[in-house]
Amino acid sequence: MKHLFKTLCAFCFFASAVQAQELLSPNGELAMKFELQDGGRPSYSLTYKGKTVIAPSMLGMKLKDNTTLCDGMTVENVERSSQDETWTPVWGEENSIRSHCNEMLVHLKQDSHNRRMDIRFRLFDDGLGFRYEFPLQRELNYFVITDECTQFAMTGDHTAYWIPGDYDTQEYDYTRSRLSEIRGLMEASITDNLSQTSFSPTGVQTALMLKTDDGLYINLHEAALVNYPCMHLNLDDKNFVFTSWLTPDPNGDKAYMQSPCTTPWRTVIVSDDARDILASRLTLNLNEPCKIADTSWIHPCKYMGVWWEMITGMSDWSYTNELPNVRIGQTDYSTLKPHGRHGATTENVKRYIDFASENGFDGMLVEGWNIGWEDWFGNFKDEVFDFVTPYPDFNVAEIRDYARQKGIKMIMHHETSASIRNYERHMDAAYQFMKDNGYDAVKSGYVGSIIPKGQNHYNQWQVNHYLYAVQKAADYKIMVNAHEAVRPTGLCRTYPNLIGNESARGTEYQAFGGSKPSHTTILPFTRLIGGPMDYTPGIFENDIHKLNPNNNSWVNTTLCNQLSLYVTMYSPLQMAADLPQNYERFMDAFQFIKDVAVDWDHSWYLEAEPMEYLTVARKTKGKDEWFIGGTNGEQPRTSVISLDFLPKGKYVATIYKDGKDAHYKNNPQTYDISQQKVTEKTKLKVWTAAGGGYAVRIVPVASK
Ligand code: NOJ
Ligand code: CA
């Protein structure tokens, strides 16, 4: 693969002669301007088709030595270059990705301290990325950032789709409001029974989706978050200016730096068509090429799991109630009395393996297989799991052999309970245990407050841990799907063994009181901008009370909405999360989950409006087969799409759609499956219920 930036020209000039530096995107629709404001203060602005997206916004850093890199700057020189390359992801929504941009590298000097800072801008047709770079220099060698002062000045009181700024969780339902309403709503409505409130009443997380009154869609996020804290945004709600807010360490410091070094990219994706936001590959394009030489062991995967039964409370992760007796490494579990509700028993796991194997799945996740779950959460317990010792009723070797014989790959579960020291201490042994027992993927989890105390989920120290776990996994040829980790920023390009993250409110909340029916119509515009999500779709039984009489939660979607998610919520790792016995009641609809692909040659975004609906078509990698998913939000609507993405020909489409009186609340399981002949000229019109959706599989007539 070529990784080429062609240098176009370089300007050198003196401070007194500084002109604004302008940069155009390859198609000329985006234009940005870098300028030094009075006092040598760096700033930038951005327009799209002549409309202002980012009004003049300040750039720079505050440092712990009470100096700043925000003023007193001169431009030493500006280098310009361009890139046009096509690269091949190991897995993805496309089999090849074009990265086409113009670049401007502004070299700044601060004479008062004799130090230098560069700002690199890359302008693509779909948006802007820029980052700070600190060349090796004596005057700025080790330094501590106490605040990053990057602004994103909005032009008005836009509509925002936001979740509160929080250092420990992203597992919120989204709120849609005007920027001016965030403060009031935030103060009134942090009712999620999760951990924290926002760091400020106008603090929000990225990827932040915005819509202007004149129809611009703007997405603010970051790319390539490495050795730096996660960026939140703090809104000045009088002037509608966001400023970056880095997640602090226990001392309140933000980032410990040593030059030469760079920050992550700050990204602004923009279009007047919401579908372009979903089609953007800017986040991936700003990440480094793959660093894993042999990627042959990395593979997309469709899996089931002994999981939903624990999440709903039908069964438990733990084996015994004999709590006070348990000490990891000292307790002989065979002497403890089982409570009889343990989910991960050899027998139960085999039942799931049978079902998964009969229905063509690749993988099987089992949670609660290892000792420690009696007392794993909430007590700042350092030595909580050892990741290698099974409960007495889970026979590792027997399950390994059974799964192998049935063609199923076991998926490991490492709940760390956020005890980072403990996990890092055990990591080599835990990964080796996986290799020895036929596991090539791990779902890791970081529930609870981070240990050591005072750390949080998204600061620099913790960000480094997540990457360490992924890099070390690569040494063992292990794929990672990390839950509760920092939200992704496209690092899966560089480390494609990072096949999934949760990092948002997943399906589990449908068993914890429910999520908004519109939730999955906003996630592709927010959380998924950074990379795939292990959302764990496929819940067919809405009434959780039927599974556990003590749980009255309701799954706020129709059954066909669940089917649509396999296409609209892109992930190389897709779970069929419900219980085998629930699928057995709807085997005709389950057929879609069996058929749907997990890796793609190409994707088309046919309809989209944040928090309302989206319809996506994808072609299976290496096969003449297409899938369509239409996910609808709260309002019933009719989706009208053209199949002109198909090559000329005759096809059969199998359509799974909501029954005519379907509704997520009172009639979610009614659906209609039909087949019809289609060509590239066909227009499909499909009604979708409130909280509904549809799914389509298309194959050439001959291969039906
Ligand atoms: C939270 C994860 O998101 C969920 O999938 C997992 O089952 C629990 N933690 C227990 O590890
Ligand atoms: Ca979670």
Mean residue pLDDT across the chain: 95
Ligand nearest the Cα of residue 368 is 1
Residue nearest to atom 10 of ligand 1 (CA): 415
pLDDT for 455 equals 96
Residue nearest to atom 6 of ligand 1 (CA): 445
In whole angstroms, what is the distance from residue 432 CA to residue 426 CA? Answer: 10
Ligand 1 lined by 534 (C-beta under 6 Å): no
Ligand nearest the Cα of residue 443 is 1
Region 382-409: mean pLDDT is 97
With cut-offs at 50, 70 and 90, classify the pLDDT of residue 3. Answer: very low
Beta strands in 533-650 (DSSP E): 573-575, 600-609, 613-620, 626-632, 637-642
CA–centroid distance, 414 to ligand 1, in Å, is 10
pLDDT of residue 535 exceeding 50: yes
Beta bridge mates, 384: none
pLDDT of residue 702 exceeding 90: no
Active-site residue flag, 508: yes
In whole angstroms, what is the distance from residue 362 CA to residue 375 CA? Answer: 32
Catalytic residue among 508, 541, 612, 625: 508
Ligand nearest the Cα of residue 344 is 1
Ligand 1 lined by 316 (C-beta under 6 Å): no
Beta strands in 564-642 (DSSP E): 573-575, 600-609, 613-620, 626-632, 637-642
Region 660-684: mean pLDDT is 98
Beta bridge mates, 237: none
CA distances 71 to 39, 137, 152, 236, Å, are 6, 19, 18, 21
Ligand 1 lined by 367 (C-beta under 6 Å): yes
For the CA of 413, the nearest atom of ligand 1: 11
How is residue 122 written in tokens? Answer: 């890359």
Ligand 1 lined by 229 (C-beta under 6 Å): no
Ligand 1 lined by 508 (C-beta under 6 Å): yes
Q: What values do phi and psi take at 390, rounded to 5?
A: -80, 160
CA–centroid distance, 445 to ligand 1, in Å, is 6
Does the reported pTM lie above 0.85? yes
How remote is the C-alpha of 488 from its chain's centroid?
A: 5
Ligand 1 lined by 483 (C-beta under 6 Å): yes
User: pLDDT digits over 449-459, tens only?
Assistant: 999 999 999 99
Beta bridge mates, 47: 31, 52
User: pLDDT digits over 121-168, tens only?
Assistant: 999 999 999 999 999 999 999 999 999 999 999 999 999 999 999 999
With cut-offs at 50, 70 and 90, classify the pLDDT of residue 696. Answer: very high
For the CA of 483, the nearest atom of ligand 1: 3
Number of Cβ atoms within 10 Å of the Cβ of 595:
16
How remote is the C-alpha of 1 from its chain's centroid?
A: 26
With cut-offs at 50, 70 and 90, classify the pLDDT of residue 9. Answer: very low
Substitution site in 483, 510, 535 for ligand 1 pocket (most atoms within 8 Å of beta carbon): 483
Say how many residues make up the chain. 704
